[in-house]
Amino acid sequence: MVLHLNGAFLRRLAAVALASVLALTGSPGRAQQAVTPTPSAGSLRAAIERGLAAAPYGFDVLQSPAQAGVRVQDVLVEVIDSDATRITIDLSQKTLTYDPSGDVDALIEAIIASTVPQTAGSGDVEYRFLVDGVPLHEFLPRAAAAPARGRAEGGPHRVVVSAGHGVYWNEGFGDWRLQRPRLWGIVEDLVNWDIAHYLAAQLAGSAFQPVLVRQPVQDDRPGESGRPPWQEASLYYMKAIGTPPAVWNIGIDDYSRDINTRPLYANWVDAAAVISIHNNGGEGTGTETWFDATNGHEAASQHLAEVINRAVVAAIRREYNPNWPDRGLRSCNGCKGENRLASRPAIIVEIAFMDTRSPDNEALQDERFKQIVARALRDALFEWSGIPAPAVIQTH
Ligand SMILES: [Zn+2]
């Protein structure tokens, strides 16, 4: 009941805010916004509702979110300045239990993907998710602030380099599978590993000690899944190297355990930062970088995201494709576990779109592109930290 009253109150507030935004966008300053077109709340809502008609990838055994009762209550678009937009999406309570494990990452990721084409020109986008008017992050667990194992004094700073996804046990299908689809011969789970591998090589021996969260050795002996361990998700590697269950066994199914393992491991080794490497979906093009606006390290995370996004886009434009699109920064209030559960600066870089054939997917087929990105990530990490970068290490 309290939630209901609170939600109604916040919805009234949102309606007032919407009225003021409508007044603003009708003002003479409007012409400037032609440079960065902003989606309308109505078109965003329609796009999200179309997306809710299908189950997220890998969750096909479930009803679609729309069939299960996930509803869009309200969408609010606020133009913050000429290069920043806030999108508030108020969802129904079913959002929290659509995935019976109670994990919201897959559903929220699908919702974000359905807004991708419309946010291409929105500059930086701050997503604010509500559930019946209450901010999403208030429903989600936090990480314990203190690490379980301290960093050795005076040694190199550990930086967790997290290659997103990997083969996992899918409870719905009862089989081992990759977390993402194969597109034009490549799959995000393995492309992410390649880039993390190149970044780790760039950092080896420097002031930053790269800490990988998936098996770093590429050989063909079968792992727990029967597939090579380097293709497997993080939780199986963490289990194999003897980290405690408090790192790899938090979550109700392996999909959520795998997401949680990465930031929890970063907390356990007291990493200076977490760089999560991903590639995008939603039929957009270009690079965007995510941070969490509510994990207690938002300022340092935002700074890291800014430096990384700028460095990656600049390197790709300089060395690979002068027309590479910069989608800007993305933030949300707890929507991605990899950032939310890190009790330290954490970002997710979405380098290119797997599901856009040219130029994105084509670039991800090219080892030179992945190496350019890895070197940019290394340079950005040093720029962010203020530690002088050593000479570039050639890996090819
Ligand atoms: Zn991903």
Question: How confident is the model over 337-349, as a mean pLDDT?
Answer: 96
Upstream peptide bond of 390 is cis (omega within 30 degrees of 0): no
| Token pair of 102 as six digits | 């109670």
Expressed in angstroms and rounded, the spacing between residue 189 Cα and the centre of ligand 1 is: 7
Expressed in angstroms and rounded, the spacing between residue 150 Cα and the centre of ligand 1 is: 29
Expressed in angstroms and rounded, the spacing between residue 280 Cα and the centre of ligand 1 is: 6
Expressed in angstroms and rounded, the spacing between residue 179 Cα and the centre of ligand 1 is: 8
As a whole-number percent, the residues of the chain with pLDDT over 90 amount to: 80
**pLDDT beyond 50 at 207:** yes
Q: How far apart are CA 237 and CA 287, in angstroms?
A: 28
Expressed in angstroms and rounded, the spacing between residue 286 Cα and the centre of ligand 1 is: 14
Element (H, E) at 161: strand 157-163
Expressed in angstroms and rounded, the spacing between residue 393 Cα and the centre of ligand 1 is: 27
Q: How confident is the model at residue 394 (pLDDT cuts 50, 70, 90)?
A: low
Chosen CATH of 157-385 out of 3.40.630.40, 1.10.3720.10, 3.30.30.60, 3.40.50.2300? 3.40.630.40
Question: How confident is the model over 295-308, as a mean pLDDT?
Answer: 97
Expressed in angstroms and rounded, the spacing between residue 350 Cα and the centre of ligand 1 is: 7
Expressed in angstroms and rounded, the spacing between residue 76 Cα and the centre of ligand 1 is: 26
Distances (CA, A) of 29 to 33, 39, 82, 230, 306: 8, 17, 10, 53, 27
Expressed in angstroms and rounded, the spacing between residue 188 Cα and the centre of ligand 1 is: 7
Beta-carbon neighbours within 5 Å of ion ligand 1: 164, 278
pLDDT for position 246: 94
**pLDDT beyond 60 at 186:** yes
Expressed in angstroms and rounded, the spacing between residue 11 Cα and the centre of ligand 1 is: 32
Expressed in angstroms and rounded, the spacing between residue 12 Cα and the centre of ligand 1 is: 35
Amino acid at 349: V
Q: How far apart are CA 164 and CA 141, in angstroms?
A: 21
Expressed in angstroms and rounded, the spacing between residue 10 Cα and the centre of ligand 1 is: 32
Q: Specify whether the CB–CB gap between 289 and 330 falls below 8 A.
A: yes
Per-residue pLDDT tens for 103-142?
Answer: 899 999 999 999 999 999 999 999 999 999 999 999 998 7
**pLDDT beyond 70 at 25:** no
Expressed in angstroms and rounded, the spacing between residue 221 Cα and the centre of ligand 1 is: 25
Per-residue pLDDT tens for 274-286?
Answer: 999 999 999 999 9
First-to-last alpha carbon distance for the chain, in angstroms, is 62
Distances (CA, A) of 12 to 2, 87, 288, 315: 15, 17, 32, 45
Expressed in angstroms and rounded, the spacing between residue 49 Cα and the centre of ligand 1 is: 22
Expressed in angstroms and rounded, the spacing between residue 213 Cα and the centre of ligand 1 is: 15
Per-residue pLDDT tens for 42-83?
Answer: 999 999 999 999 999 999 889 999 999 999 999 999 999 889
Expressed in angstroms and rounded, the spacing between residue 278 Cα and the centre of ligand 1 is: 4
Expressed in angstroms and rounded, the spacing between residue 354 Cα and the centre of ligand 1 is: 9
Expressed in angstroms and rounded, the spacing between residue 279 Cα and the centre of ligand 1 is: 5
pTM reported for the whole predicted model: 0.89
Expressed in angstroms and rounded, the spacing between residue 99 Cα and the centre of ligand 1 is: 18
**pLDDT beyond 80 at 19:** no
pLDDT for position 4: 39
Distances (CA, A) of 324 to 48, 130, 315, 318, 385: 26, 33, 10, 10, 26
Expressed in angstroms and rounded, the spacing between residue 69 Cα and the centre of ligand 1 is: 26
**pLDDT beyond 90 at 395:** no
As a whole-number percent, the residues of the chain with pLDDT over 70 amount to: 86
Expressed in angstroms and rounded, the spacing between residue 262 Cα and the centre of ligand 1 is: 13
Expressed in angstroms and rounded, the spacing between residue 348 Cα and the centre of ligand 1 is: 9
Question: How confident is the model over 170-174, as a mean pLDDT?
Answer: 93
pLDDT for position 391: 76
Expressed in angstroms and rounded, the spacing between residue 180 Cα and the centre of ligand 1 is: 8
pLDDT for position 147: 53
Question: What does the domain layout of the chain look like in residue ranges?
Answer: 2-139, 157-385
